[in-house]
Structure 1
């Protein structure tokens, strides 16, 4: 019934201009036939908003006015980790409960070690550490997607311990009372890479196949080494439509060198 109620259903980013999006951008989830589109002036907009993005209330009012000018009855759905967006809507927020601990472990394990048991049989210690990592992530789906694939790219027990210690330290800094945001997961990911990288910025963008960038699994496996001072790294890319990437821009951290005077004193 939803498909027949709206002229178009689109998914967009919070920063997109809605009027422009309706004509040329955004991922079209549904488009009415040309012969019937004039009868369906209503639009359904799905906005995927990350925790870090703040939606300005003035911009929000402009967005709603833009939709009303296009056609009465248009709706906006915001999918977000940010509790503050609940005040923007005209109806109550619908909360999605996190996965239970065992359900989340199954999700994390499938991404890290596959659905079979052959990898865990060959690397028994990884299952123990992997379960501890999953417990520390407290149901973060993005954390499972990124860090689970890290483990998949480097089935080394020492590497998994490094990841566990890094996640644990980040949780301590957050005073263990906050959930991991995507930005937090990005910082954890860069910390466990074999080469030091410092996060400069992060963004979630669409049309993944058209964008360049080094896949983070290549850095984990060591098949690609950072050459430039600054580089763009793809932490995660969706496998299905609507496709999008979570990309970070980071810079190499130069290791401090001992001065000639210091070396002389050491001699």
Structure 2
């Protein structure tokens, strides 16, 4: 028994020593967070080279577009993680340093966001695990795109290719390559029998408010191939459709493009409505369009309502909001441009908080990115973050969590200026898109004056929110009014409480 016991104890001791030695060697060989971040930077540079080269080429292959979409998602995730850790390494917590964002922390299901809130002894292990997962995922993705890079060399280049990422985000539709190709295939597809009479094809585009439906259509209409395909492009809204008849179809809409003899008499009709469209109204309009436009004409109808899918002659295109990582990448590049975020950790932390509060809204990103870029200093950015947090907090109190849905503007939006001890409270009643020529008003208030200025407007007034960079350079206008704080009442179930804080 003593021999067996001694042998057993010796074996256990030997295994324990081997385990401890092996664990020590693994810990000693494990890379530090700084080394992991350097590796992540190098991988992201490789990914960015491929992505920017792909964005400069016309890719018609759907499988290649799908693979490019996967590559971009990994790039957005990698840059989001890198920026989070860079902020933390400089002592800038993207949620704790700013009091107003504590109530609007990001989803706990995303590890890239959850790591910011970890505390205690497990924080270092969770950070290391997160970085290892991101590094491994990006490395695997790069290995998978070797054939993609080979085929990419055979794709033609885009004409007038932008020369940097800031212009690329302005001149090309960010993150919507697959959706854009879907629309282009629909618009450029020739009719089956040239010269034969046929009903106009209809493509429904469905998505939440402020997700980029109108911008996607603008980019498609701005393409030279589309302008050569159709002799005219007409735009309609919900009211135009209700009033349209066979005799006034052309006059009922806005002429977006007209090319004379080009396009063989084909017409592209763009219809943008906010919600539902009555089926009888649609049938009457479609009948008028079928009688008045030439063979090979097309119709695109965009709405938030899923019911318009039944109006289509082809499968509906559905747009979803960007992921937090993709939206942050868009927001960062539009705000910082060619400036490195690593050189401005405090501003980066504020910008990340703002991107979370904006919740994927593209119009809000265009407004606030312009404000931040024009006032590149910590004090102004802190004021902008405080103002945005106040807007979010006040309107969530008034309307509940539905206000978080990308500033849908379905109900008035209340805001208070960033000035100390300011009792002025404004309400954005509605937003409006107009042609540039229709809004030449030098006295119109700017959005910066609305948020941070000292001008005291009276009654109802208009605010110039931003101007589209695409022709015809539409202007987006806020219709606002002055609202006394005591009139701001919030409803919670059957109770009512004053929301003027």
- Shorter-chain TM-score range: 0.7 to 0.9
How many residue pairs match? The answer is 245
**What's the offset of the Cα at 1:127?**
1.7
Q: State the structure with more CA Rg.
A: 2
Aligned counterpart, 2:367: 146
Secondary structure of 1:156's counterpart equals: helix
CA distance in 1, matches of 2:402, 2:252: 44
- 2:467 pairs with 1:244: no
2:269 alignment partner, one of 22, 37, 45:
45
Q: TM-score, normalised by structure 2?
A: 0.42
* 1:161 paired residue number: 386
Gaps of 5+ in 1: 257-267
Superposed, which structure 2 residues align to 1:21-170 within 5 Å?
22-23=250-251, 26-33=254-261, 39-40=264-265, 42-50=266-274, 53-71=275-293, 72-111=295-334, 113-117=335-339, 121=343, 124-152=345-373, 155-167=380-392, 170=395
Q: Which runs of 4+ in 1 moved over 6 A?
A: none
Aligned twin of 1:187: 413
CA distance change for structure 1 residues 156 and 177 in 2, over 3 Å: closer, same or farther?
Answer: closer
Structure-1 residue corresponding to 2:237: 13
Q: How far off its partner does 1:250 sit? A: 1.7
Q: Quote the Cα distance in structure 2 between the aligned partners of 1:101 and 1:164.
A: 18
Deviation at 1:160, TM superposition (A): 0.9
- Higher share of residues assigned strand: 1
Q: Note the aligned Cα RMSD (angstroms).
A: 3.5
* Residue 493 of structure 2: aligned partner: none
Cα distance per residue 1:32-89 (max 9 Å; x no partner): 41xx67x52x311122334xx4433332222211111103543210233443332332
Q: Equivalents in 2 of 1:202, 1:209: separation in Å? A: 17
Distance 2:309 2:430 in 1: 26
Distance in 2 separating the partners of 1:186 and 1:237:
22
Rounded Cα–Cα distance in structure 1 between residues aligned with 2:372 and 2:476: 18
1:232 to 434, 440, 462: 462
- Corresponding position of 2:34: none
Partner Cα separation in structure 2 for residue 27 and residue 193 of structure 1: 41
Distance 1:94 1:44 in 2: 17
Task: Check whether the contact 2:450–2:463 (CA below 8 A) recurs between aligned residues.
Answer: no
CA distance 1:84–1:235, shift in 2 (3 Å) = farther
Structure 2 CA distance for partners of 1:119 and 1:178, relative to 1, 3 Å = closer
Distance 1:79 1:162, change over 3 A: same
Report what 1:175 is aligned to: 401
Which residue does 1:259 correspond to in 2?
none
Distance 1:199 1:21, change over 3 A: farther
Q: Secondary structure at the match of 2:409?
A: helix
Q: 2:157: which partner in 1?
A: none
Structure 1 residues 2-50: Cα deviation after superposition (integer angstroms, max 9, x where no partner)? 54543322333333255646248524234241xx67x52x311122334
